Amino acid sequence: MDALDADTGISAQQQAPTHSGVITLDAENYKTGDTVTITVEDMDLNADGTLIDVYLPVAADYDGTTSDPGLFNVIFDATESSVGNANLVETGTDTGIFTATFAVPAGKTGNDMDVNYYDFRDSSGNTNEVGDSAGIRASTGSISLDRTVYPVPWGLLSNFDAISGKSPSTQSVFPVHSTGVATNLT
């Protein structure tokens, strides 16, 4: 009842809250064969708070002006790459945090890798694209020795006739170095 003693309906309306999404990689650099983990945080993707939600990747040609980009993509030097079954899987019920993993394909060393997430409704209600990037680098191995100079083995077949009664053909030509002469060739 209002002030005039009439029935008047009253209602309130509030727009459903939306959230801004973020995508991150788990490292700054990778090499061929490394496992990459992509993490997307967006509560808007949590469609059912009682289930673990899963989103499949959508493959599309990437030319910089994609009309239907899908949910996320992986780009190596401006060329979109298939990441197989890199599904975004929620880390638990009602978390809004999703991860996807894939191996860095061969032939990408020296390239940059970009991941993009297309947030169809950010906290302002607008479409937004966010991303992260990493380098694909090769690791150069190293070797070290325990000293800078090593003795050179030496010997002649004639030196071995008297050693333990073995014939020269069953022994190395260089069985000892200068430090072993006194004990082995007496």
pLDDT in tens, 5-24: 777 777 665 556 788 899 99
Residue 59, both tokens? 């493959």
| pLDDT tier, 28 (very low <50, low <70, confident <90, very high otherwise) | very high
Predicted pLDDT at 38: 95
The answer on 103 and 32 residing in a single domain is: yes
The answer on 110 and 32 residing in a single domain is: yes
CA distance 37 to 136: 14
Q: How far is CA 94 from the centre of its chain?
A: 26
The answer on 185 and 120 residing in a single domain is: no
Residue 37, in any domain of the structure? yes
The answer on 106 and 53 residing in a single domain is: yes
Q: Which helix (H) or strand (E) holds 182?
A: helix 181-184
CA distance 138 to 115: 20
Asked if residues 93 and 86 have their Cβ atoms less than 8 Å apart, the reply is no
Range of the domain at 170: 151-186
CA distance 62 to 81: 9
The answer on 93 and 43 residing in a single domain is: yes
Position 15, amino acid = Q
Could you tell me which residue, 11 or 104, shows the higher pLDDT? 104
Range with the poorest average pLDDT among 103-112, 121-130, 140-149, 163-172: 163-172
Residue 5, in any domain of the structure? no
Asked if residues 36 and 103 have their Cβ atoms less than 8 Å apart, the reply is yes
Residue 71, both tokens? 């949910």
Q: Calculate mean pLDDT across residues 50-68.
A: 64
The answer on 131 and 40 residing in a single domain is: yes
Residue 146, in any domain of the structure? no
The CATH number for 60's domain is: 2.60.40
Residue 79, in any domain of the structure? yes
Q: Calculate mean pLDDT across residues 71-92.
A: 83
Tally of domains within the chain? 2
Rg of the chain (C-alpha set): 34
| pLDDT tier, 109 (very low <50, low <70, confident <90, very high otherwise) | confident
Q: What letter does residue 133 receive in the DSSP assignment?
A: E
The answer on 93 and 166 residing in a single domain is: no
Q: Tell me which long-range contacts 121-128 makes (C-beta under 8 A, separation of at least 24).
A: 121/18, 121/44, 122/18, 122/19, 122/20, 122/21, 123/17, 123/18, 123/19, 123/20, 124/18, 124/20, 125/15, 125/18, 128/20, 128/21
The answer on 156 and 117 residing in a single domain is: no
The answer on 131 and 89 residing in a single domain is: yes
| pLDDT tier, 60 (very low <50, low <70, confident <90, very high otherwise) | very low
CA distance 90 to 73: 17
